Amino acid sequence: MIEVKISDKTLDTQACIDKVLSPSCGGIDVFIGTVRNATKGKQVVRLEFEAYERMALKEMQKLGEQAKKKWPIENVLIHHRVGVLGIGDIPVVIAVAAAHRDAAFDACRYIIDTLKETVPIWKKEIFEDGEVWVAAHP
């Protein structure tokens, strides 16, 4: 199973884990992204996430398919938040269930690393004295 979702509501990590749980799997690897309070020593007030939703879902689905081709994994879930997030909030949850842990770890890492490069989602960091779209400028 591959499940992808973009939501403006709080991500429920336990529900994500429950969805990939399978009797034929020996483990679930979960990556939970959390909003950090600083960037390069500068205090972050909040983050704002925006997605080109239709394309982002398509790219997330591709990531799940690629991961399933590369590793013997059974279930993949990728959920991403949009909207305004505060420190400690969860922008992304990736859960991968596999018969054996190596595949789950490798696939999960591949998915988060590639998501950051290909999925059309953007974050703006809001500081006390300004704001910046992350990665926009050299």
Partner 1 sequence: MQVKVLAFGIAKEIFGSSSISIDIESNDTDGLKNALEVKYPKLKELSSYMVAVNDEYANDKTPITQQDEIAIIPPVSGG
Binding site for partner 1 (CB under 8 A): 33, 49-52, 54-56, 58, 80, 91-92, 112, 115-124, 133-138
Strands 27-33 and 2-7, sheet pairing: unpaired
Q: How many CA atoms lie within 13 A of 125 on its CB side?
A: 17
Q: Closest approach of Cβ 100 to partner 1, in Å?
A: 26
Given the complex with partner 1, which of 22 and 106 has the nearer CB atom? 106
Min. distance of Cβ 87 from partner 1 in angstroms?
16
> Which CB sits closer to partner 1, 54 or 100?
54
For the record, the structure tokens of 88 come out as 């400690």
Please report where in the chains the tokens 């490798």 appear, as a residue.
Answer: 106
Neighbouring C-beta atoms of residue 54, cutoff 10 Å: 10
What is the smallest separation between the CB atom of 102 and partner 1, expressed in angstroms?
Answer: 23
Which residues, in sequence order, are CB contacts of 79 under 8 Å at separation 6+?
Answer: 3, 4, 5, 6, 7, 11, 16, 92, 93, 94
Tokens of 137: 């400028």
Q: How far is the CB of 52 from partner 1 (least distance, A)?
A: 5
Q: Which is nearer to partner 1, 70 or 116 (CB)?
A: 116
Task: Compare residues 5 and 99 and give the one whose CB is closer to partner 1.
Answer: 5
